[in-house]
Homo-oligomer: A and B are copies of this chain.
Amino acid sequence: MKATKKKRLEAAGWRVGSAAEFLGLSAAEERIVEIKLALAVAVRQRRARLGLTQGELAQRMGSSQSRVAKLEAGDRTVSIDLLVSALLRLGLTRQQLGRILASDAA
């Protein structure tokens, strides 16, 4: 929304933001959850394919087994950064990463 338009709306008594923006936030956050899930699934598949344990992957990442478990479980305390880090450490290229992001989680 342009600042000029926002000013007009506010002058007309609207509280620009709150409701509509809350819904918007929810929609975007939902998509983020989907993305995280797709990445999580990819981590588990790739790790299994390489025959690594969670502990071994954790070591590669400088992380811990428990965090890798949460990571693959789609725990909400896991960031996209960590998921991407895991996938890169599993040898994925940016192209492969992009493909995972674009596709739905199985």
Contacts and interface: CB of A to CB of B under 8 A. Distances in A.
Interface of A: 1-3, 6, 17, 21, 24-25, 28-29, 31-32, 34-35, 51-53, 55-56, 59-60, 62, 79-81, 84-85, 88-89, 94-95, 97-103
A103 to B, nearest CB: 8
Contacts of A60: 21, 24
Contacts of A89: 24, 28
A32 B95 contact: no
Nearest to A104: B94
Q: Which of A29, A102, A103 has the most CB of B within 10 A?
A: A102
A85 B28 contact: yes
